[in-house]
Each structure stands twice: as structure tokens, then as C-alpha cells.
Structure 1
Amino acid sequence: MSTFAIRLEVDDDATVPDSFLQEGAAALREDAATKIDEKNTPAAIGKRTMSPIKIETFRATTNAVRGKTSPLTESSPGEISFFSGNPAVEITRGFLHLYRNNETSKDVKSREVCLLAVPATMSCRDLLQFTAALLPLVELVRIIRDESPNQYMALYRFKDEEAAKKFKKTFNGKRFNSFEDKYCQLAFVSRVEAIKSSKGASRPIKGLTELPKCPVCLERLDESVNTVLTVLCNHSFHSSCLEQWKDTTCPVCRYSQSPEPLSDNKCSQCDAIEDIWICLICGYIGCGRYLRAHAREHYETTNHTFSMQLGTGRVWDYTGDNYVHRLIQNKGDGKLVEVEGHEVMEEKVDSLTLEYTHLLTSQLESQRHYFEEKMARMEKESLDQFSTIEKKSKEQCERFECQIADHEKEKRVQEKKINQLAGKLSKCTEQLEEEKELNKCLRENQRIWQEKCQHLESVRVQREAVQTREVEELREQVRDLMFYMETQKTIEEAPEETRQELQEGTIVVGEGSEAAKSTIGKKKPKGKRK
């Protein structure tokens, strides 16, 4: 972010405004300018006309009754704590210069902010109402009016740097009101000074660049605020101002800005189409010294002295390092001067014709020798290149033949390996087929034996079931037999009366399962005694 400096160049007969002197401008101008000789000053400044400059200063409202400055925050709603009647007005004559600092920095330390172009339709009160939101942070407002029509400049001084940054962030690029199409343009101000014209006020300041004015809107041309466009005639305008200019000429000098038709001529080396020069000896076309200087390189190589610029017809002498078109020698001092018109003495023309013819003949002869030497040199270089290429080609062919032989040998070895692997592969394939057949037979036998095993298993299970059933029946019979024997023994050991009762008694058997009935039926005959 760049800062700006405001310098008021005051006429020698006018007085320096007190508001500028109170800010220490006297100390600033001592190191910014040196005194100019008064004898030479009128000649330099007499061409300029000093214009009136009006400076209006608005300070914080002072309460005369209490004898102190009222805080801006204590003002009533809708009121502005600045003078709206008669401000401190100073009138002088001079010029107002606006400079921009060439050095930029991210952190700007300045308490002053300048409104570059305020529309004249806005009164001072309107401007204060526009910035009323941050007026409590303002120390003073200075309105500066110069010869610029329909606009003026406003300078705000704040209590601290943070307030100035906040003011710029809030109002920069903001529209003044809904009726105006102008926007607020703010810039930080690092110094404000007033210097007399005789003290060197018009001299440039080191490290600062003065901003010119746009010829259309008369506002300052600042690239950081608006886009600046420079046309072919070196006049600068705001891009928005130049868009409103419907003509193709410059608004100042009426120079045509439309592109001229270009010829087919271009530099033989870099194909440039600007600043083209043609050799008057051999017709070689090259670019000028302000591009890549191929025309001068042609002169240094061929010693062709004269070259003509296409489009202007001017002839340049490289030996004398000057223009030689339409030149005659002055009789007084013998210097070469350019003829203003086309009327030249006939004898002078004849002498120039003879001189040019002789010069052309000598140059053509030197050109013939030059091209003969160049052809011989190119032929020798071609033969050398051909022999070198031939030698390299032979070496490459021998190397390629060796590589081909090695590759053939390796190819045979690989083919032999492939044949061996193919034989092994066929044997492995046959073995695989045999293994597949054997595996098939084994699987069939396995299936048959599995069926036999299943059949035998089922037979074994059936036999085990039959054997189990028979074993159970035998156990029942053994149990019945043991019961019968124990009963017989018990009866034999019993008394006679008991045996008689048993013989005459009856045994009643209850209903049970069929198996139990069958068992009792079988046992009963065995237990019956006769």
C-alpha cells in the first residue's frame, strides 16, 4: 500500500496558508527543496498561470461557555460537531501537486486520509454527514479547492492511526449518494507542505512520483485507484473516460489510434515486423538496434554500410553512425545538415549520383568477394561435415553388425532351450494323461469298494440287532429259570401245611403286556406240580 504527499506550490507574491505552516511544513520543505536562483526563476515559471486555491478548515466544536472542547460523542442526534457556518477560510495562489510514494509497505503509519475527488455538488455539510459515522475520531477536516472544476479535495486528520485505517476501510469505494455516480476514493497522506515557487516547489521529490491529471475528467491518474490507459501518442487517461470517447483519435492531440496496415516485410532472423531495415547493397532485411539488431549484425558481417528504414525511407550510415538521406554540407562550418525541401541543386545531385554509383560498384565488388568466400567456406564445412558423418556412420554400422551377430548367437541358444523345454513339456503331458487314466480307475474301484463296505455295514447292523434280541430273550429265560429253581427250593424247605396250601391254591395273574403274557404262559407249565 502506497502513501501520498501533498505539496502546495505558492506564488512568490502570495502568502503561505497558516494551516500548512502549523503542521511543520517549514521543516519539511528545507530538506525537500533548495533555493533557486531568482534570476532564472521568472523564465521558468512565467509560462504557467497561478490559480486561486481556497482552503477551508473545520475543527471540533468548542464550547465557549464552559471553556473546553466538547466531545464529539456528546453531540445531539442529527447534529454534527463541526462548524457549519463560517469555517476558517484561507485563499492563496499557486499549484497543488499530488505525489505518490514509490515504496510500498503493508503497514501504513499515517493519521491523515485524503478524499481525492469530491463532487462539487456535495456541500461541506453533505460531506460531513456522509462521514458522520466516524466523526468522533476526527480532529479536523480541511477542504482544498483549486482550479479543477466540479470537484474538490478533502483532507481528514484523525486522532490515531487505527482510526485512519478504519475510516479508509469503511468509506473507500463507497458511493457518495444515490444521485451521484461518483465513488469515494481515499488515500493515506504521509506529508503536507507548502513551498514558495522560488524555493524549488516545482522540482521533483526523490522517492516520489507526481500524479498527472486525466485530460477528460481532470482527476488524478492513480493506478492503485482507477485503471490508467496510455495510448500510442503517450497520453494517459482513465479507462472509463476513454470508453466514453467514441472517436478513434486521441482526445488531446487527435492522433489516430487505429492500427496501420502492415507490410509483408519482416526480419530474416526473428520475423519481427517493427523497426525493419533493408540493406541497400544486397537487399537483406533485418530488425533495428532497439529490437535484436540483426541489421547491424549484417553490417558487421558483410561491411555493407548503408541501410534504409522501411516506411520512413531514412538511410543510415553505419560507418559514420548517422543518417545520410537528403544531407548537404554547410559552407560555413562544413557540417552535414538535412534538407528541408526537395529542391536540391542539380550539380549536387549529379555529384551525389556519381558518388553513390561509385559506392554501389565498390560495394557490389566487395559483396561478390564476400559471397565467394562464404560459398567456399560453406563448401569446406559441408565436406568436413560429410566426412565426419561418413566416419560416424561406418563406426555405427560396425557396432550394429557386432550387435546383430551377438543377437543371432543368443537367438540360436534360446531356440535350443525352447526345443528342450518343448520335449520336456510333451513328456510331462503324456505322464499327465497316464496319471489321469490311473486316477480314473482308482476312483472307480474306490466307488465299488465303498458300495461293498456300505452293504457289509448294513448287514452287520442287522446281525447285531438280531443277536441283541436273542441275548435279551436268553437273559429272560435264565432269569425265569433261576426264579423257578429258587421257588422249588423254597417250597421244598417249607412245612407240609404250606405245601398243601400251595397245591390247593390258585394263582391269579393280572393283565400286562403281550410279552409278559407270553412269558407267563411259557413259565406256568414248568411251575405246575402234579
Structure 2
Amino acid sequence: MISADLSDSSAASNVTQAFPFSSGNPRIEETRGVMHLYREDVTPTSSELPVGRKPLVCVLGVPNHMTYADFCQFCGSFIQHILEMRIVRNDGMEDRYSILIRFDDQNSTDTFYNHFNGRRFSSLEVEACRVLFTVDVQYTGSIEHAQTSPASSTEQPTCPVCLERLDQDMSGILTTICNHSFHCSCISKWTDSSCPVCRFSQQQPEKSICIVCQTSENLWICVICGFVGCGRYREGHAIRHWKETEHCYSLELETQRVWDYAGDNYVHRLIQSKTDGKLVELNHHCAHADDGCGSCDCSGDPGFTEALLNSKVEAIVNEYNDLLTTQLENQKIYFESLLEEVEEETEREISKAVEKALSQNQKLQKMQVKLNKCIEEKKFLDDINDNLLRNQEIWESKIVEIEEREKKALRRKDDKIRNLEEQLRDLMVCFEGGNTVEQLPASNELEDNSVLPLQIESSSRNGTKGTTRRTNRG
């Protein structure tokens, strides 16, 4: 077991951080402790490694999908320098685990740190290897959850795979999360994530809940379709599932026992052991006595015992075959009824869809007729609009011509009016001149036929001309 002493804890408290951890199979025994690691800001680069470090590091936060063999392959170039590796789980990290590694010397430890710190576990993943120097590992105690056998409670001196002694000086030792130790070369050949001894897996399954009410207590899973429901002492969703689907076999998750709702009894033959997790046959007592077959004749003759055992096995096989046949027949009837319901429902949906399609087709036809009428009306209105536009242009040109003619007529009229006004003025002048001559006195009459010149201006279309009027006496 990896451990260390923290003699200078007061001096290292400012540069370390504590990580509580646990290991062991929770069903059997759980070991808890605290590991003190140097903070990441203390070792930023390879040139500033912490003073007083030890050949002990911790690979923190390894993804659960990496098995023991995967990690041994990842750090395979340093396996010969590793004395011991221990798998632990950190509190608060459900999907990750950590690995405590002790090397043979400080130089190998520093080289491992410089090579793997910050390096990704795989080119296809984003998770990076996080290596921290370990100051101290303290074990606070262990809790036993079940009675274990003496063979499982003591550490095995040999590797369970190769049966060789677990000598740390000769080769590295890997202790799994369930506290079983192996050689690194032996465990690297085990591709499964479970332990080769107790089959405890580091990849713990997710906690199941009732699909309907989300409770996690008294759960039963249907062995036919996998429906998870609570028992009849909770909300009764498991038995309700049986009434709805006729799936009469359900497995209790806590005890791994199978219940037959149709027969109203348990029908399991194998159960999971609480000590090591293996499947074992359910204990049953002889029908003749409560303490076994000691009082009947079957315990005397070995041949009779073997024949009795074979007959029991054959009876169990026949019973299982009959049970399976009955269940299959019931499932056949049930699924045939479901298929009939589905076919009827499909036919109803098809008829509804056809009726809806016909109604939609009729609506589309009516809309098409309306659309054609609208198109015709639009075409007619477009023709009328074109004709009106052409007429507008014609009338505009006619209006322009009429306006020009009116302007010319107005100019001629104005000229005529001017001429008439000039002629009228000339006539007025002539009349005024005639009246003046008649009013002259006789004494002022001219003798010897003298002529009185009068200048008369007249206007006509050809211009203005002067006339002389001769006035004779007498």
C-alpha cells in the first residue's frame, strides 16, 4: 500500500492541496484517505520543480473509459521504473479516477512528469494527463459493509494471474480500485474494465430511476422491453406496465430476483451474491426435511444422487421451455392484437387522409376556377387600360392642336380689333375736322380759291397715308 509520512506538514501546507479519496469494493470494504499534492501553480514548468519532492506522483482525473490496460499501454515506456501503482477514486469525481505511482528513483519521477504532464491520452480525445507531485498519502480508515472470507480479507502474496510473488523490487505492482494487486504486465493483458478476481468494474453503471415518477427506490425492470418502474409499494408503475403490455416478468434491481406477475411468485434460478457479485444458484431445501436431504434415501447412493440431479436439471429445463413457450405465445397474441389495432388505426387515418385530400382537391379546383376568372378579368382590364392610355394620348394631342388654333385665332382677333380701333380713331378725326370747317366765319373765308390743308391720318391694313382736302369758297 502506497503511504508516506508528512513530517513537515506545517511548512508544506502553503504549497499543497488536499484531495480526499477512497478505494475498495463498496459492497465489501471501503478504504478512505487523503492525499496531499503540490499545487499546479507551484510546478509551472519543468525547470521549477518543487524542492523536497519525492519519487511519488499522482495522475489526477483519468477518464473512466480508460481501462487498466489502456493506462499501462499509455505509460509503457516507464513500466520498468514503476514500483507500485494504486487506483483510487476522488470524492466528487464520478466519471474519473486517479492513479498513485511510486518510482524507483527521483530521476525517473522527474522524467515521467516532464514527459506526460499536459500530454493528451489520445490524439482523438481532448482529455490531457494531469501529473502532480505527491507530498503525502494518509489513510484515515476502512469501513466494512459485508462479511468477507479470510482469503479475501488478507492481501494475496502472489499475482492471481501468473501466480508469481508480488515482489516490488523485481517488477511493478498495480492495485485496482477494489484493492486487488497484480503485476503490471499481467493486468495489461486484461482488456476489460472489471477486476479479474471479483469482477468489480471501475465504470459504475448509472443510477436507475422510474421512467414515470423519477423515483430511485424499489425499482423493477421489465425483462422483455427494459421498462423501469417502481414497485407496488411505491407508485406501482411496474405492475401498471404489466397490465398494459402483458409483460409478466420483471427483475428487482436491488435483489436481482425475477417476479412473475401472472403466476404471482418468484421464478428466478440465479441470484447475484452480495459478497463478490457473482451469479450463484438460489438455495432450495429438500421437500422431505428443513435441513436438507439427510432424512431421505437420496443421500446414500451417489448414482441415485446424480440421477436425481439430472432429473432436476431436466425438469428445470422443461419448466423453463414451457415457461418460455407460454410467454412467447402470450406475447404473440398480445403483439398480434397490437398489430390489429395499429392496422385499424392506420386504415382510419388513411380514410381520413383520403377524405381530407378529396376535400382539399375540391377546394383547389374551386380556387383554380376563381383564379382563372380573375386572370380573365385582369386581362380584360389590362386591355381596357391599354385602350384608355392610347385614347388619352390621342386626346392630349388634339387638345394641344385646339389650344394652338385658339391662340392663333386670339392673335388674329387682337390684330383686327387694333385695326378697327385705328380706323375708328381716323373717322373721329375726320368728323371733328369737318365740323371745324363749317363753323369758320365768313370774314375769315379765304379768297381767290385758296386751299386749306388738313392733315388726316388713317390706319388700314396697308399702313397710314396723308390726304389734302381742298376747300373752295362758295
Q: Which has the higher contact order (CA 8 A, sep 6+)?
A: 1
Please say whether Structure 1 and Structure 2 have the same fold, judged by a TM-score greater than 0.5: no
TM class by shorter chain equals 0.3 to 0.5
